[in-house]
Amino acid sequence: MNLSKRVAVAQSVGIDIGGTKTLALAVSSDGTIRSRRQHATPKGEVEIAKLVVELYRELANSDLTMPLGIGVAGLVDRSGRLFNAPNLVAVDGFKIADLLKPHLTGRLYVDNDANCAAYAEVHQGALRSVSNGLLITLGTGIGGALLIDSRIRRGAFGMAGEPGHMIIQPGGLLCACGNRGCWEAYGSGAGLRNLALERIKSGRLEVIADLIGTNYAALTGELIAGEANAGDAQTLELVEEYASWVARGLVNCSVLLDPEVIVIGGGIASDWALFGSRIQKWFQQLTQNAPLRQTIPVEPAVAGDAAGALGAALMCHLDTSGIQTS
């Protein structure tokens, strides 16, 4: 079924399990958020499953036939098993669907958080009325979702749309996945920090170096954005370099996918005035001579921090390739 055709289900619950917080929403089939709960994400898989069941029961008013959609920060295969989750390392291998199924009678869907965010953008955001688009989340890592012929594509094993591990600099910076030169090591929030550290070590980021001294843990995206927005020339040079790396990855995605639009979400996108215009400028420069037929707009996501949970709930209302376990 096309994503634009929606099943008339009264309501569903969407839960986004993030590295630090878990957000749960009760959502009508038209995308209206009816109620919302937020909780710190516990460490162990049994504790996470317990929290998910509690939040679900509360928001579903004990109607255990209500569908539940779950978005989780990591790769999810078609069996509902989570792995390669750098922000949820304590639960690597977590069989979410198996743990939850005994507690539910309704349908259960599990997908990664970027795919869920894309469902939200398709329903009421920057991917509305788009048949072929790409969502990239620039957070601690890089997430991705592929909208092809009006469907979110999950690939043979549920792993499609993870462009953060395209190698764009052979022998380059070390990535969280263990490889060197991945796009994520340059274009994510962690990548921004990597590039800043390189500049600090070569004396090219003096204001920030003076602020943090040897406390490298204080080197955050917020600090960098703050200094750039205050007009520090060296920090603005860093942001330019960072934007150029983001754009290189976007160009590679574009020549592969031929999207109508590229939508950028995640923490970096929340300061669109600083990062967005530079990413757009570099992207258009790099595609000027590339074999692309037309200009591809690069736009910010609009669903905000609730996108993952909202999309997880909407996933239940759509005939998608999400995991259905009952």
Which residues in this chain contact Zn ion in the complex, by CB under 5 A?
Answer: 165, 175, 177, 179, 182
Q: How far apart are CA 159 and CA 27, in angstroms?
A: 27
Q: How far is the CB of 291 from Zn ion (least distance, A)?
A: 27
Q: How far is the CB of 216 from Zn ion (least distance, A)?
A: 21
Alpha helices in the chain (DSSP H): 45-59, 96-100, 113-124, 184-187, 189-201, 206-212, 221-229, 233-257, 272-287, 307-315
Q: How far is the CB of 174 from Zn ion (least distance, A)?
A: 9
Q: Which two tokens stand for residue 82?
A: 């989570």
Q: How far is the CB of 275 from Zn ion (least distance, A)?
A: 21
Q: Which is nearer to Zn ion, 179 or 295 (CB)?
A: 179
Q: How far is the CB of 142 from Zn ion (least distance, A)?
A: 9
Q: Which is nearer to Zn ion, 160 or 302 (CB)?
A: 160
**Which long-range contacts does 48-52 make (Cβ < 8 Å, 24+ apart)?**
48/17, 48/22, 48/91, 48/94, 49/96, 49/99, 49/100, 49/103, 51/22, 52/15, 52/17, 52/22, 52/24, 52/100
The one-letter amino acid at 285: Q
Q: Which is nearer to Zn ion, 10 or 174 (CB)?
A: 174
Q: Which is nearer to Zn ion, 25 or 168 (CB)?
A: 168
Q: How far apart are CA 144 and CA 122, in angstroms?
A: 14
Q: Which is nearer to Zn ion, 191 or 276 (CB)?
A: 191
